[in-house]
Structure 1
Amino acid sequence: MSDRYELFLTCPKGLEGLLLEEASQLGLEEAREQTSAIRGEGGLEDAYRLCLWSRLANRVLLVLGRFPVRDAESLYQGVLAVDWFEHLEPSGSLAVEFSGHGSGIDNTHFGALKVKDAIVDKLRQADGTRPSIDKLNPDLRVHLRLERGEAILSLDLSGHSLHQRGYRLQQGAAPLKENLAAAVLIRAGWPRIAAEGGALADPMCGVGTFLVEAAMMAADIAPNLKRERWGFDQWLGHVPALWKKLHAEAQERASAGLARPPLWIRGYEADPRLIQPGRNNIERAGLSDWIKVYQGELATFEPRPDQHQKGLVISNPPYGERLGDEASLLYLYQNLGERLRQACLGWEAAVFTGAPELGKRMGIRSHKQYAFWNGALPCKLLLIKVQPEQFVTGERRTPEQREREREQAEVAKAQAEPQAPQYNRNGNPLKPAPAPVVEQARLSEGGQMFANRLQKNLKQLGKWARREGVECYRLYDADMPEYALAVDLYGDWVHVQEYAAPRSIDPEKAQARLFDALAAIPQALNVDKSKVIIKRRERQAGTRQYQRQGAQGQFMEVSEGGAKLLVNLTDYLDTGLFLDHRPLRLRIQREAAGKRFLNLFCYTATATVHAAKGGARSTTSVDLSKTYLDWARRNLSLNGYSDKQRLEQGDVMAWLAEDRGEYELIFIDPPTFSNSKRMEGVFDVQRDHVQLLDLAMARLAPGGVLYFSNNFRKFQLDDGLAARYGVEEISADTLDPDFARNPKIHRAWRLTARG
């Protein structure tokens, strides 16, 4: 066999330039880029060295030959022409990977089958001995790439992909592959910083991939030093002595690197479930003396290696997995920017993000950006020098002012820092010393306009709310069409719902406006970002409010008209308290004394609580959802009402048809549409409201009152109902000032029996 080979190194998209530089340093000659790969020439020693030392490649392919392909038969003959006895024992095992198409071969499985057939036919013995197929751990892994009528036939020397270093057996929800993490570190300048003795900190470290890759670079450890199985182990062209020499040299370099004083490398992770998996990965990599991981929230992050040492803060914030998550992540990015400005002055920072628009919201400028791909997701690496002149704040200052502030911040930081990092006995960082005050990030023109509207509304509605003792109310409801949000106050919490933008609106513009508005909310309302909850409300009616959004299970108690009610701001689209029905609930409380009260489609039974508080003789509440009836039970219990409060689970229409009770006060607030598995058929409020009201009015005691409301914007009450009952629309009387801007939020009627 030849002493020189054509070598292909594959890599993730976007890493070609970095891999070209790395491979050239490792001995690859005449190297040049291709899409998701580089190619060049080298000897077997170079190929082994690339397998062992490449931090960026996925695979190292040794090219056996190139030949033209016109059809399936010429593919077969081209593979058959190779002397496979130089590469594989007839009794060995084989795996074939085929990529590309053309020349009448459009199915990769068919192409792989033709390659396999040629190799097997070449090696088949007279006694029937032939290679077997082993897709997991074959003796030889063959790769054929078909491109523009040419076949490139190669041996895969790597075996499993080189990004699988072997230390990361436990991983988080969305980890970066090891070679991508290494590429990010290289672009961020970590090799230079490490050579200067700098520190590294990751405030959202997950299971520690950045930390391990950084430590391996700093300690001069070959990334695949601990790999036990290679694609060349059973290859007949393998030269074990040459491989052992290279491996021993790498082992010596690693031992020397680990013998040096370790650099300060620290990770912090808010999720306690990831701490031990991260530590396990670090231990498997043999780097426990170099890397420490602690549980800690981003809001308290402060790297403190010693009084003077600086380094690199590196982070891969979450991208968001569910609709609306990306909006919620705005505050995480803002918090990250605040921590950089307050606790990392003089450091360098690298933020790897799949949401570059969010990266712009950190309140600090990046001096350089690089494009990457994380799988199919386009990403950006933002490189930042954490200096005051890079801060995007609310006030423009001269360079002299910025330099003076930088010096003052340095002095204050030095005075605040202890000589060594401080942690409690559980390994959690102690509360950091007070940091220099840093201005809030400057709002955009649109964000400032939105903030002004919020403050104007707060000034007007706040007076009314304090006067009336209203604790929960709507502050803003798409007052400005370009900022399509509903902003509700629940005590000192803010609940934000984003209305989905019309299809005619450019999604990027809609997103930018959303971020402008969300950035304005904490500043305008003077609330902590952690107390702002964000959701997205789709343009659809029905029982959307009943669909679960999360599972945090965090309830808080609020008061309304002297009643105590439980709300949940995180787990459902709605919170358990429809704010627009406040006047109706208070009316029910005033009218309930001595009456039997029926609440249909009761949801969390807030109206029932008001009826009980108003002195109702008994209450009956009906809903299909066990979850909400349990919530209703808790609401009633919270107010001391347990006796004479009947909760019924069932389809309201079927329940009414069977019930024989009489009620002096009835409240019905049905969904627009319902098709629950627990009910027969489908409920449609426009189609079915006549039947619903007829059934309910049959249960109304003489002299009783039924209140009917719904929020279907196009709803029309059937004219025939007025012929049978006393019908009075009371919509205008059931809206408080916080919903005066949106009079179509619901419509309501008062029904009575005719004398």
Structure 2
Amino acid sequence: MSDRFELYLTCPKGLEGLLADEARGLGLEDVREHTSAIRGEADMETAYRLCLWSRLGNRVLLVLKRFAMKNADDLYDGVNAVEWQDHLLADGSLAVEFSGHGSGIDNTHFGALKVKDAIVDKLRDKDGLRPSVDKLNPDMRVHLRLDRGEAILSLDLSGHSLHQRGYRLQQGAAPLKENLAAAVLIRSGWPRIAAEGGALADPMCGVGTFLVEAAMIAADIAPNLKRERWGFSAWLGHVPALWRKVHDEATQRAEAGLAKPPLWIRGYEADPRLIQPGRNNVERAGLSDWIKIYQGEVGTFEPRPDQNQKGLVISNPPYGERLGDEASLLYLYQNLGERLRQACLGWEAAVFTGAPELGKRMGVRSHKQYAFWNGALPCKLLLFKIQPDQFVTGVSGERRSVEAKEAESDRPVAVVNEPARLSEGAQMFANRLQKNLKQLGKWARREQIDCYRLYDADMPEYAVAIDLYQDWVHVQEYAAPRTIDPEKAQGRLLDVLAAIPQALGIDQQRIVLKRRQRQSGTRQYERQATEGRFQEVSEGGVKLLVNLTDYLDTGLFLDHRPMRMRIQREAAGKRFLNLFCYTATATVHAAKGGARETTSVDLSKTYLDWARRNLSLNGYSDRHRLEQGDVMAWLESCRESYDLIFIDPPTFSNSKRMEGVFDVQRDHVQLLDLALARLAPGGVLYFSNNFRKFQLDESVSARYAVEEISAQTVDPDFARNSKIHRAWRLQLR
């Protein structure tokens, strides 16, 4: 074989430039960049060094042959022509990876099979002995890349991907790959800071990936020094003496690095479940003298007590993929920014994020940004210098530095403990919330109501509904029209979330965000989370349970408050029927009003269990029946009579437990006929729904006494949205 080889090094998308610089430093020549890869030329010693020392690469591929191919036969012939006996024993094992398509190869599995056949046929001996396939730990891993009619056939010298250093056997929910973490550290200037004796802190360290990678860089430890099995271990072209030379050099450098006084490297993690796994990873990496991990929230992490010590704060905050994450993430970023300003003056900071718009809410100006990819997710690395002239506040919609404010006032400006200033839009929104709170708060206190709607898209550009549940805030974002720039809509939502704590004096941890979109079927009732946190609220002398986190709706429709109060006033001595009862809040009011007995019907066992808890909470259990079933089918089989009936059906339902599909516009006549057949003489049926385009069929008014009472069922907190629902009072003629 030749003394020089063509090498391909693969890497995560976006790291090509960094990998090219690293590879040149390790001896690769004539380096060229490709998408998610680089290539160049080197001798075998450099190839080994790249395997051992590359912090950024995934694989080191040694090119055996390039050849043109037009079809599958050309592929077979080109691979079969290689002298495979120089690379693998006849009784060895191999794995084949194939990428690309064209030249008659449209299926990578077929392409890999063709390559495998060509190798096996070449090596099959006269006794029929042939290599076997082992996809996990083969003696030789072959890679063929098809690129515009050219086949590039390579040996994988790495074995398992180089990002798998071996120390991280335990990981959190969304860990960064080790080579991506190393790339972020390099872009953040950590090698320079470490060489100067600087410190490093990660306030959201998870299982410690940044910490370990940073310590290995600082201590001059080859990232794969402890790897025992390589792609070249059983390769016949392997030169053990040359490998021992490269490995011994790396071992000596690591010993020298670890003999130095360790740098101050600390991690903090709020989740107690990740503390021990993080410490275990540090111990496996042999870096327990360098790295310490503590449990603590973002707002409590401390840089090194030595005020003269400076360094790098690095963090990969959560990106937010679950319902309502924007609220908690905004406050997380704000808290991180506040902590940087308070405790890390003179330090540098790096925030790696999939939500870069949140980085703008930290109160510190980013002086540099880099684009990265975390798998398929585009991300940004935001770099900060924690200096007063980089602190920013939102005043009159402008981003003004503390230095500029000092210049205007001719005296220092204290900002360290100052709450985040609001942008012009956020301040305008906060003013509206305070105005509404002043007006509605008086009414709510007078009526002894502790949960009500405070804001409902009063200003069109801030399309949210905000409900107060005692000292909790429930925020629902309406889906923005397609004509609105998503970034602008997201910015306005962040303004809303920034304004709420300051305007209402509410703790950030007591704000829950939901994103409300057009719902179909039963989606609005589906579980969104599993916190199981219920809280007790009161209205009209009854206690009710709400859950702000687990479902799109909370278990209490605030706009039906007047209807529930009406039912309470009229229920004395009556038999009450509540159809599509949901959590049976109207039933509790009927019981409070002295109903002789109640029956509540719903298809959902979950909500009937909730209904049972609501009744029990108020001391009602006897004479209050809960029925699980399809309302239409239940009515058809029912033979009892009721004096007071309430129906508030969904607009549309297609539950698997139903027979057919319910559509309120199409099916309301049949629903009302069935329900009114169960109404006792002199009884009253209340019917409501929130389908904006609903039209009551004329035949209903022709056969029954019908009065629309919508205006009488809207309280002051919904006066700005008078079409929130429509309601009718029906009686038999």
Instruction: Please state whether the residue corresponding to 1:749 is helix, strand or coil.
Output: strand
State the partner residue of 1:58.
58
Change (3 A) 1:302 1:665: farther
What amino acid maps onto 2:340 in structure 1? L
Distance between the aligned counterparts of 1:405 and 1:369, measured in 2?
32
Secondary structure at 1:473's aligned position in 2? Answer: strand
SS of alignment partner, residue 293 of structure 1: strand
Report the AA paired with residue 553 of structure 1.
G
Partner of 2:192: 192
User: Residue deviations 1:255-314, cap 9 Å, x none?
Assistant: 232233322222222223322322222222222232222332224333344443222111
Letter in 2 for 1:540: Q
Q: 1:405: how far off?
A: 12
CA contact (8 A) 1:58 1:162 kept: yes
Partners of 1:394 and 1:439 within 8 A in 2: no
> After the TM superposition, which residues 636-715 of structure 1 pair with which residues of structure 2 at under 5 Å, given as runs?
636-715=615-694
* 417, 434, 442: which one aligns with 1:437: 417
Q: Report what 1:467 is aligned to.
A: 446
Check whether the contact 2:521–2:654 (CA below 8 A) recurs between aligned residues: no
Q: Which amino acid aligns with 1:507?
A: P
Correspondence list, 1:280-291, <5 A = 280-291=280-291
> Residue 323 of structure 1: CA displacement?
5.2
1:744 alignment partner, SS class? coil
Aligned pairs for 1:211-360 (under 5 A) are 211-322=211-322, 324-326=324-326, 328-360=328-360
2:361 aligns to what SS in structure 1? helix
Q: Equivalents in 1 of 2:493, 2:309: separation in Å?
A: 39
1:735 deviates by 0.3
Structure 1 residue matching 2:698: 3-state secondary structure = coil
Could you report, residue by residue, the CA deviation over 1:511-554 in whole angstroms, capped at 9, with x for unpaired residues?
22222222222222232221111001111355333111100011
Q: Which amino acid aligns with 1:353?
A: T
**Secondary structure of the corresponding residue to residue 720 of structure 2:** coil
Q: Secondary structure in 1 aligned to 2:524?
A: helix
Deviation of 1:325 (Å): 3.4
Equivalence map 1:539-618=2 (5 Å): 539-540=518-519, 542-618=521-597
Deviations 1:672-705 (A, max 9, x none): 1122222222222122222222222222223222
1:356 and 1:379 in contact (8 A); partners too: yes
Offset at residue 437 of structure 1 (A): 1.0
Q: Which residue of 2 aligns with 1:430?
A: none
Q: 2:108: which partner in 1?
A: 108
Provide Cα deviations, 1:343-385, integer angstroms capped at 9, x if missing partner.
3222211111112222222222110001111112111100011
Q: Secondary structure of 2:392's match?
A: coil
Matched, 1:45 2:49: no
2:425 aligned partner: 446
State the distance in 1 between where 2:634 and 2:151 align.
Answer: 72
- Structure 2 portions without partners, runs of 5+: none
Shift of 1:400: 7.4
- How many Å separate the matches in 2 of 1:170 and 1:290? 19
2:403 paired with 1:399: yes
CA displacement, residues 444-480 of structure 1 (integer Å, 9 cap, x when unaligned)? x333332232222222222222222221111111122
Q: Cα distance 1:302–1:442, how it changes in 2: closer, same or farther (>3 A)? A: farther
Whether 1:518 aligns to 2:497 is yes
Aligned letter for 1:139?
A: D
Q: 1:483 to 1:596 in 2, by over 3 A?
A: same
For 2:654, give the aligned amino acid: N
Deviates more, 1:79-88 or 1:207-216: 79-88
Over the residues paired in the alignment, what is the CA RMSD in angstroms? 2.3
Give the secondary-structure state (helix, strand or coil) at the position aligned to 1:741: helix
Question: 1:118 Cα deviation (Å)?
Answer: 2.6
Residue 491 (1) aligns with residue 470 (2) = yes
Distance verdict in 2 for CA 1:408–1:450, change over 3 Å: closer
1:606-647 superposed Cα distances (whole Å, 9 cap, x missing partner): 111112222222222221111111111211222222222222
Matches within 5 A, 1:350-429: 350-394=350-394, 396=400, 399=403, 402=406
Q: TM-score, normalised by structure 1?
A: 0.92
Q: Is the 8 A contact 2:341 2:416 kept in 1?
A: no
SS of equivalent residue, structure 2 residue 552: coil
Q: Relative to structure 2, which stretch is displaced further, 218-227 or 676-685?
A: 676-685
Question: How far, CA to CA, are the matches of 1:654 and 1:723 in structure 2?
Answer: 25
The separation in 1 between residues aligned to 2:56 and 2:402, in whole angstroms, is: 43
Q: Does 1:742 align with 2:707?
A: no
How many angstroms does 1:223 deviate by?
0.7
Q: State how far apart, in whole Å, the 2-side matches of 1:153 and 1:78 are.
A: 9
**Structure 1 stretch 717-726 or stretch 153-162: which is displaced more?**
717-726
* Matched position secondary structure for 1:338: helix
**Cα contact 1:176–1:374 (8 A) shared by 2:** yes
- 1:234–1:268 Cα change, 3 Å: same
Distance in 2 (alpha carbons) for counterparts of 1:157 and 1:699 = 79
Letter of the 1:389 counterpart: D
Conservation of the 8 A alpha-carbon contact between 2:366 and 2:385? yes
Contact 1:101 1:107 in 2 (8 A): yes
Going from structure 1 to structure 2, the CA distance change for 1:342 and 1:209 (only over 3 Å counts) comes to same
> Quick one: distance in 2 between partners of 1:165 and 1:371?
25
* Bigger Cα displacement from structure 2, 307-316 vs 52-61: 307-316
Q: Is the 8 A contact 1:622 1:650 kept in 2?
A: yes
SS at match of 1:716: coil
| Counterparts in 2 of 1:130 and 1:558: CA distance versus 1, 3 Å | same
Conservation of the 8 A alpha-carbon contact between 1:342 and 1:438? no
- One-letter code aligned to 2:727: A
Name the SS of the counterpart of 2:62 in structure 1. strand
Q: Contact 2:390 / 2:402 at 8 angstroms: preserved in 1? A: no
Between stretches 170-179 and 50-59, larger displacement belongs to: 170-179
Structure 2 partner of 1:118: 118
Q: Residues 327 and 514 of structure 1 are in contact (CA less than 8 Å); yes or no, is this contact kept in structure 2?
A: no
